[in-house]
Structure 1
Amino acid sequence: MSVWLLFPLAVVSSALLTGGLRRYALSRSLIDVPNSRSSHSVPTPRGGGVSIVLVFLLFVPIFGVIGDLEWPAIWSVLGTGLGVAALGFLDDHGHIAARWRLLGHFLCAVWALYWLGGLPPIEFWGGVIDLQWFGVIVSAFYLVWLLNLYNFMDGIDGLASVEAICTCVGVCIIYWLTGFAGLIGPPLLLAMAVSGFLVWNFPPARIFMGDAGSGFLGAVMGVFSLYAAWKSPVFLWVWLVLLGVFVVDATFTLFSRLLQGHRVYEAHRSHAYQHAARKAGNHLSVTGIVAAINILWLFPIAICIAVFGLNGLLGVVIAYLPLVVLAYKYGAGKIDG
C-alpha cells in the first residue's frame, strides 16, 4: 500500500470515529451546557478530539516502519501525545486539579525531550546558539505552554481545527520548498486527522474537541517543531510564526489577566477571539478570519524566513506585531462588563 493512501484514510477514519464519539457522548451525557464563561449557546457533546488522537497515534508508527521518521521522534510523540490526551480525557469526564494537570504536562514534556535530546541549537542573528541544559528547561516550558494555550484557544467552533490544518499544511509546503520532504508525512497526517474531525466541528459545531484533543494538538505540534529544528534551526522560527494567532492571543490574554489580578487558571471567555465572536454574533466569521490571517499573512512570512533568508527573530516580530494590535483592539484579557 502506498503511504499516500494513509492521508485520505485518516480523513475518513477520523470523520467516522468522531460520529461514533458523538453518539457515545450523547449516551453518557457528556455535554457542554452553556454558562457565563461559554462562547456557545446550545448544549453540545464534547470529547470528539479523541478521534484525532486515535487516528494519528495508530498511523504515525508507519512512518517509522518505512523509514520516513526516526523512531526516537515516534516514541517522543507517542508517549507525550498519549499522556496529554489521557489527562485531557480524564478531565473531560470529571475534573483534575490544575496543579496535578500541570505536573502531568511537565512529565509528558520531559518524556518528549528525553527522546528528542532537548532543545536544538537556535539560529539567532546569523549565528547558532546552543543553550545546552538551560535549553532543556526552556523547551519543557515551551511544550507545556503550547499545549495549554491550544486548550485555551479551543473556545469557538472550528477554530482549533482550522489553526492546526493551516499550520501543518503550511509547514509541509515549506518543508517541500526547502528540500526537507522527508519531514512532511507526520504533520500532514495530523492535518488529515483534524480534517475528518472538522466535518463535525465546522460551525455550527455538532461536537466539541474537548481537552483530550486540544491539548494533544498543542503537544504534538510542539514536538514536531523541536524535531524539525534539529534538522534545521530555521524551522523553529517557522513553526512559531505559523502558530502566531494562538501564541499571541493566549499570551497577551494571560499577561493581561495577571496584571488585573485574576486567577489565570480559572475558566473565562476573555480571549480576543471570544470577544470578536461575540461582536460578530457568530463563530464562522472569526474562524474564517483566522484562516485568512494564517494563509495571507503568517504563511508568506514563514516562507520568507525559510526560503529567502529573512532573520527568524525579525520574522517573528513582524508577524506578531499586527496580532498584538488586534489582541489589544479586541480587549484580550478584559472581562465583559
Structure 2
Amino acid sequence: MTAALLGLALGVSLAAWLGTGWLRRYALARSLVDVPNARSSHSTPTPRGGGLAVVLPFLVVILLLGWVGLLPAAEVAALLGAATLVAAVGFLDDHGHVAARWRLLTHFVAAAWLLGCAGIPAFSSFGLSAVPIQMLAVVAALYVVWVLNLYNFMDGIDGIAAVEGIAVATGGAVLAIAAGHPVEVIVPPLMLAAALGGFLAWNFPPARIFMGDVGSGFVGAMLAAFSLQAGRHDEVLFWSWLILLGVFVVDATFTLLRRLLRGERVYQAHRSHGYQQAARRWKAHRPVTLAVVMIDVFWLLPIAALVILDWMPPLHGLAVAYAPLLVGALLLGAGRREPTVGPSL
C-alpha cells in the first residue's frame, strides 16, 4: 500500500510539473500575463493561471481514491464539489474579471457544499458542544471562506503559496500518522502536497509562472477542508492544523483588520502584507519564501505536535505559536499604508 501511494504521489507531482509547463505556454499565447504595476511585488511580466495544473491532477487522484475505497463517497463528493466551484470561478477571474460579490457568493456555495456533504466537526471543548448546530455551520462556512480568501491574499510573491501549502499539508498528514488516524485523513493532504511540489518547480523564485486565483483559492479551500475533515476524526487535529496555518492566518488577518480600521477597501489589490514588506526590505522574494518554510517546520510543526501529544492544551498552543508571528507582523509593518512608488522587485 505504501509503495502504491508513493507511486501515485510521484505521478501526481509529474502531472503537475508537465501541466504547469503546458499552461505557461498557453498563458503566453493568450497574453494571460501579470504586468507589474504600483501594487505589484514583482518587476517582470509573468504568466498566470498555473494553479490549474495543481487542481486537475488532485481532482483525478481524489476520484481514484474514492474508486478504490480509500476515501468515503461523502468525502469525495465534498472535496470534488468544493474544489471545482472555487477553481472554476478563479479560472474565470484569471481570464477576465469576476466581480468580488460573485466570487464571494461562489465561495460560500462551495463552503455550504463541503459542509453539507462531509458534515461539521462535533467540537466538545470550550463549551462548543452546547452551541446549536446551525451556528456551528455558519462559523464553519465563514472559516472555509476566510482560509480560502486569505490564501489568495497571501499569494503575492514567488513560491510562497506553494511552499506554505506543501508544509501545512505534509505537516497535517504527519501529525495524523503520528496520532494513528485513518488513511482518509492522511492521503488527500499528501496528494495536494505532491501536486504543489510539481508546480513549485516552475514557481520557485524567480517564478516562471504564477499560481493565479484558480490555484490559490483552490489550495486555501482544500486546506480548510482537510482541517475540518481532521477535526471530525479528532478535535485536537483541527487545532493542530490551525497552528500549522499560522503564518498565513496571522499576516492576512492582522493586515485586513489594520486596513479595515483605516477605512480602506480590503478587496482591492495592495502590497501591505508583512511578507510583502519583508520582500521589499530584503529586495528579494527567495529569503521570505524560505523563511516561511523555516517557521512552518521548526516553529509551528513542533508546537502542533505538542498539542497532538496532549503535552500542551490547544488554545495554549495557538497562543504560543501565534504570539511571535504577531510580533513579527508588527515589526514588519503588516497593514501599514503602502508606498506610492512602483514595483520594487
TM-score of the pair, normalised by structure 2: 0.95
The answer to whether 1:335 aligns with 2:314 is no
The answer to whether 1:65 aligns with 2:67 is yes
* Deviation per residue, 1:39-77 (Å, 9 max, x gap): 000000000000000010011122222222211011101
1:68-147 matches, cutoff 5 A: 68-117=70-119, 119-124=120-125, 129=129, 131=131, 132-147=133-148
2:34 to 29, 32, 39: 32
Specify the SS of the correspondent of 1:121: coil
Rounded Cα–Cα distance in structure 1 between residues aligned with 2:325 and 2:124: 23
Give the deviation of 1:123 after TM superposition.
Answer: 4.8
Letter in 2 for 1:197: F
Rounded Cα–Cα distance in structure 1 between residues aligned with 2:31 and 2:211: 15
Aligned to 1:22: 24
Give the deviation of 1:335 after TM superposition.
Answer: 2.1
Letter in 1 for 2:27: A
Rounded Cα–Cα distance in structure 2 between residues aligned with 1:236 and 1:57: 23
Rounded Cα–Cα distance in structure 2 between residues aligned with 1:141 and 1:128: 16
Letter in 2 for 1:237: W
Letter in 2 for 1:88: G
Aligned to 2:210: 208
Letter in 1 for 2:22: G
Give the deviation of 1:122 after TM superposition.
Answer: 2.2
Rounded Cα–Cα distance in structure 1 between residues aligned with 2:271 and 2:308: 35
Give the conservation status (yes or no) of the 8 Å contact 1:248–1:324.
yes
Give the deviation of 1:330 after TM superposition.
Answer: 0.7
Q: Which aligned runs of 4 or more in structure 1 are off by greater than 3 angstroms?
A: none
Give the deviation of 1:301 after TM superposition.
Answer: 0.4
* Deviation per residue, 1:284-324 (Å, 9 max, x gap): 00000110000010000000001234211111111101001
Rounded Cα–Cα distance in structure 1 between residues aligned with 2:323 and 2:58: 34
Give the deviation of 1:2 after TM superposition.
Answer: 2.4
Specify the SS of the correspondent of 1:184: helix
Aligned to 2:193: 191
Rounded Cα–Cα distance in structure 2 between residues aligned with 1:145 and 1:3: 31
**Identity, % of aligned pairs?**
52
Letter in 2 for 1:115: C
Gaps of 5+ in 1: none
Aligned to 1:289: 291
Rounded Cα–Cα distance in structure 2 between residues aligned with 1:181 and 1:331: 42
Give the deviation of 1:130 after TM superposition.
Answer: 5.3
Rounded Cα–Cα distance in structure 2 between residues aligned with 1:148 and 1:46: 18
Give the deviation of 1:184 after TM superposition.
Answer: 1.3
Give the conservation status (yes or no) of the 8 Å contact 1:124–1:313.
no
Give the conservation status (yes or no) of the 8 Å contact 1:14–1:51.
yes
Give the conservation status (yes or no) of the 8 Å contact 1:172–1:188.
yes
Letter in 1 for 2:198: G
Aligned to 1:263: 265
RMSD of the alignment, in Å?
1.3
Q: Report the more deviating stretch, 305-314 or 148-157.
A: 305-314
Letter in 1 for 2:43: S
Give the conservation status (yes or no) of the 8 Å contact 1:120–1:130.
no
Q: 1:128/1:134 Cα in 2 relative to 1: closer, same or farther (>3 Å)?
A: closer
Letter in 2 for 1:293: I
Aligned to 2:342: none
Rounded Cα–Cα distance in structure 2 between residues aligned with 1:123 and 1:303: 20
Letter in 1 for 2:156: G
Aligned to 1:248: 250
Aligned to 1:170: 171
Give the conservation status (yes or no) of the 8 Å contact 1:14–1:52.
yes
Give the deviation of 1:100 after TM superposition.
Answer: 1.1
Letter in 1 for 2:304: A
Specify the SS of the correspondent of 1:41: coil
Letter in 1 for 2:231: A
